[in-house]
Amino acid sequence: MKRTSLILPRFGNGIGLARTARVARRLGLDLDELGRKAVVITGSNGKGSTAAWLTALQCAAGGRVGTFVSPHLFAFNERFKIDDVPVDDVTILSAEARLDAVLRDDAEAQGGDQLGEFEAWFLVALMIFADAECDNLVIEAGIGGRYDPTRLLKAPLAAIVSLDLEHTSLLGGSLREIALDKFDVAPPGARVLIGRNVETEWDSLATMGALRSVKVERSSVLFRATASRDTIETHEIRLEHAELGGLTGTTALHGVRQVENLQLAIELARAARPEIEAARWPSLVRHAMARVACPGRLEVLEGGPPLLIDVGHTPAAVGAAVAAVKELTAGRETTLLLGMSHNKDVDGMLGQILPAFDRMIVGAAYNGLEPEALAARAQAVRPSVAVAAVASDAKAALDLAHAQAGNVDVLVGLGGLFWAGALRAARLGQSLEALDFS
Residues 269 and 223 in one domain: yes
Q: Which of 162, 121, 166 is nearest to 139 (CA)?
A: 121
pLDDT of residue 99: 96
Boundary residue ending a domain (291, 307, 327): 291
Residues 30 and 116 in one domain: yes
270-310 pLDDT, tens per residue? 999 987 777 789 999 999 999 999 888 899 998 889 999 99
Q: Answer yes or no: is 9 within a domain.
A: no
Q: Poorest-confidence range of 80-89, 213-222, 252-261, 354-363?
A: 252-261
Stretch 383-395: mean pLDDT: 95
Q: What is the 3-state secondary structure (H, E, C) of 339-398?
A: CCECCCCHHHHHHHHHHHCCEEEECCCCCECCHHHHHHHHHHHCCCCEEEEECCCHHHHH
Boundary residue ending a domain (234, 260, 291): 291
Stretch 326-336: mean pLDDT: 92
Stretch 143-164: mean pLDDT: 95
User: Which amino acid would we find at residue 339?
Assistant: G
pLDDT of residue 167: 86
Top mean pLDDT of 75-79, 86-90, 344-348 is at 86-90
Residues 144 and 240 in one domain: yes
Stretch 166-170: mean pLDDT: 83
Distance (Å, whole) CA 378 – CA 374: 6
Domain of residue 53, residue span: 17-291
Residues 94 and 227 in one domain: yes
Residues 279 and 309 in one domain: no
Boundary residue ending a domain (291, 312, 337): 291
Residues 103 and 218 in one domain: yes
Residues 303 and 287 in one domain: no
Per-residue pLDDT band for 406 (boundaries 50, 70, 90) equals confident
pLDDT of residue 434: 65
User: Which amino acid would we find at residue 129?
Assistant: F
Q: Which of 425, 307, 330, 333 is nearest to 386 (CA)?
A: 333
Q: Order of strands, edge to edge, in the sheet holding 334-338? A: 299-301, 307-309, 410-414, 334-338, 359-362, 386-390
Helix, strand or coil, per DSSP, at residue 232 = coil
**Is the pLDDT assigned to residue 438 strictly greater than 60?**
no
Q: Answer yes or no: is 11 within a domain.
A: no
**Is the pLDDT assigned to residue 405 strictly greater than 60?**
yes
pLDDT of residue 11: 87
40-53 pLDDT, tens per residue? 999 988 899 999 99
**Is the pLDDT assigned to residue 387 strictly greater than 90?**
yes
Q: Answer yes or no: is 2 within a domain.
A: no
pLDDT of residue 271: 95
pLDDT of residue 437: 60
197-212 pLDDT, tens per residue? 999 999 999 999 999 9
Per-residue pLDDT band for 109 (boundaries 50, 70, 90) equals low
Per-residue pLDDT band for 121 (boundaries 50, 70, 90) equals very high
CATH number assigned to the domain comprising residue 279 = 3.40.1190.10
Stretch 398-408: mean pLDDT: 89
**Is the pLDDT assigned to residue 1 strictly greater than 80?**
no
pLDDT of residue 436: 62
Stretch 74-87: mean pLDDT: 93
Residues 268 and 307 in one domain: no
Report the mean per-residue pLDDT for the chain.
92
Stretch 358-384: mean pLDDT: 93
Q: Answer yes or no: is 7 within a domain.
A: no
Displacement of CA 436 from its chain's centroid (Å): 18
Q: Where are the beta strands (DSSP E) in 75-211?
A: 80-82, 85-86, 136-140, 157-160, 191-194
Stretch 9-30: mean pLDDT: 92
pLDDT of residue 108: 64
Contact 151, 185 (CB under 8 A): yes
CATH number assigned to the domain comprising residue 333 = 3.90.190.20
Per-residue pLDDT band for 317 (boundaries 50, 70, 90) equals confident
